[in-house]
Chain A
Amino acid sequence: MTLSIAEKSYLYDSLTASPSIRPDGRKPHQFRPIEVSTDFLPSSNGSSRIISGDGSECIVSVKAKVIDHTLSDEELIQVDLDIAGERTDSPQVETLMSLLNKVLKSGPGFEHSRLQLTERYSFKIFIDILVISSNCNPASLISFAMFSALNTTTLPKLISSFDDLKVEELPMFDDYDLVNLKLKSPLVFLLAIVGNNLIVDPDANESEVCDNAIIVTWLDGKIRSPIRTLTLNNSYSKGFDPTLLQKGLKLIEENAAAVLTALESS
């Protein structure tokens, strides 16, 4: 649905008002309701399905493979993204995929060493994301889905010994027992800038009129990289006051923990 020029102008004026008036009556830091269900794909190690209030829907599946990590230093988590109706080499898909891979890159607070099985072998995690429908930038929704999927992922329990450098043996797993991986992946937030106001989780209409937007990654109480600005539309995009960047990062820092609690309780 596209808005007319007059509608956009009205929406822009109400969003730039102080305090901003959002079309659905949300507060600047309020998210839209989401519905998450996990562990519904029997053939994968972890899965989740997330539905946003506006009909955006996304499915995430987590699968694992045992690799010899001494042979290559590739990343232990790999993301593959598919957006319905988009070609896999379209700029939107490639950009988002590159971003998500960077989000899940090993770093302080999110160590891939937890995936290590033995001295020699590690689990490599493959995350397949399918965005079934999306009305606005799906980065935030995807990260919530990835979090829920990784949080509920269960992997086979190792029964062979950890030290296998000297003895050549393949890792052995228990036939029935599974261990919960409990990997807390970073969350990604989308923050729109309209005039001098900041609003989190902009919907499709708000995206149409915002000046600019920031993608912020958050993990364990802290803002971390990657962070980028992006424009969600062509006609309204313009520069913004540098202090808004700081304000935005602070806004996320204050409110992200609540989102985390909500996602964990699901």
Chain B
Amino acid sequence: MSINFKFPESVIPGQLLCPAFDIKEENDKSIVYEYIAGPGTRLQKHNLNGTVVNIINSTLVGTVKIEEDFKMDSSNLDELNETAEDEKNHSNNGTREIKKIKVSVVHKRNNTSSEVDNELTNNLPKEGDIVLAKVTRITLQNVSLEILAVENSPVPIDSGVGSNGHGVVAAGAGSGSASYSVSQTSSDFGDPFRGTLRSQDVRATERDSVKIIECFKPGDIVRAQILSLGDGVNYYLTTAKDDLGVVFAKSGNGAGNQMYALDWETMVVPSTGATEKRKCAKPF
């Protein structure tokens, strides 16, 4: 099976990639290709010779990536199946196949670094993404975190400046300094995306008897999943999975040595043998 559409290899913003639908005749069977705009692309109406056509165009400089037999959410799929059946009834020969293809553009700069799998061109955390976050504050009900990075995607150069301490924000630059900017108040150390983790979302079992102090301490690095985009300030996070939880912590409130997970709720300092309670992520 091959796509009968020739995609350019490297693209620039505004370059037209493909129409929303394409049809191909093969062995008395017509295959309908439905192209879906993924990250780095956008479906837009273009005026071609007086008719308005839906065309996917690139929005980034980079390389085109194509995923065939792309699976959509089940709800969407049902809908599409219905329309497909409708179409089947309408067409006389009844041999029509719909193939969904996701088209996305991978940003050039992200593509060059080889350490991470750059499936996401977009730096922003989305629902369902796994993020690494640092605990900044704990209360009885909540853990406040700063999101450091989205797994499998690189950190934008200017964000997270406050969290990892490096990088220089020039005076008179950044949204904080401009009195009428998008973010009206900000710290002088950049603006990390913030997250909050409720005590009910710490683990999947015995949700009601979670003691935050026995699960997280300020300074811990936590692997968490985004539950929702949350409110204006915080993303809502969860660690209610085996592979989510504390991945990096130091003993004695950050004063001691690095600890390693002993089991899912204990961490140990190898040199002293001291243990502390944490909700650990499964290391493997």
A contacts, CB < 8 Å to B: 89-91, 241
Contacts and interface: CB of A to CB of B under 8 A. Distances in A.
A91 B47 CA distance: 35
Interface string B29-52: 000000000000000000100000
Secondary structure dominating the interface of B: loop
A94 to B, nearest CB: 9
Interface in B1-57: 47
Nearest to A87: B180
A91 B179 CA distance: 10
Interface of B: 47, 179-180
Nearest to B181: A91
Contacts of A241: 47
A241 B50 CA distance: 12
Contacts of A91: 180
Nearest to A241: B47
Contacts of B179: 89
Contacts of A90: 180
A124 to B, nearest CB: 30
Contacts of B180: 89-91
5 contacts: A89-B179, A89-B180, A90-B180, A91-B180, A241-B47
Nearest to A91: B180
B202 to A, nearest CB: 34
A89 B180 CA distance: 9
Nearest to B44: A238
A193 to B, nearest CB: 15
Nearest to B47: A241
B16 to A, nearest CB: 15
Contacts of B47: 241
A98 to B, nearest CB: 15
A80 B179 CA distance: 21
Nearest to B179: A89
A89 B179 CA distance: 9
Nearest to B45: A238
A90 B178 CA distance: 11
B203 to A, nearest CB: 36
B98 to A, nearest CB: 26
